[in-house]
Amino acid sequence: MSRRVKQLFLMVTLTLASAYAQTAAVDPTLLTKANAGDATAQVQVGESYAAGSGQTRTAKQLAEDYRQAAEWYRKAAVQGDLAGEMHLAALYRDGKGVAHDMEQAAGWYRKAAEQGDVTAQATLGVLYSMGQGVEHNDVEAYYWLDLAASVKGPNQEKYAANRQMIGAHITTEELDAVQERVAQWKASHPR
């Protein structure tokens, strides 16, 4: 190998090593667990990629890190892991690591909402109220916002206010039907 080729090879190797050092640093033990199918570990690996190493990342590195994060979140999400579903929904919502796709985002929020995640329920309610990723439906919006507003927490008042705004757009009959659905959901999903 000529001296020039060796220098070029060394320069490329150092550049790649530097780029790799700036991407996520994933604990090998955690990675082993994630590769073995541990959903919690898969989410943590995804979070490592999304967070990066703390150093400034180029746009290309950032895109690749989010793509990796999305892959790990998806592995956890398809196992029904709530955190994986929520992270993946947010990536679809924001178009990070995956194409911006509100239908996919809404689908993953729905899976988390059906498991009782309050933030997912409220988000799904807002999506229905705006017709983003789902067809506009004030009854569905009210349903999901009512479930979210029924849980004590820092955003409870905000969820209740959103629910009340939507409530002005549904009939008394629709309200009665929604309240019955909410009662049924709560009976089968004690918090």
Check residue 128 and give its pLDDT: 98
Terminal CA-CA length for the chain? 68
* pLDDT, greater one: 74 or 27: 74
Stretch 54-69: mean pLDDT:
90
pLDDT band at 20 (very low <50, low <70, confident <90, very high): very low
Q: Is the predicted pLDDT of residue 1 greater than 60, yes or no? A: no
Q: Cβ contacts of residue 9 below 8 Å, gap of 6+?
A: 1
Stretch 96-112: mean pLDDT:
98
Structure tokens of 117?
């995640």
Check residue 17 and give its pLDDT: 35
Q: Which among 184, 138, 185, 186 is positioned nearest to 164, based on CA atoms? A: 138
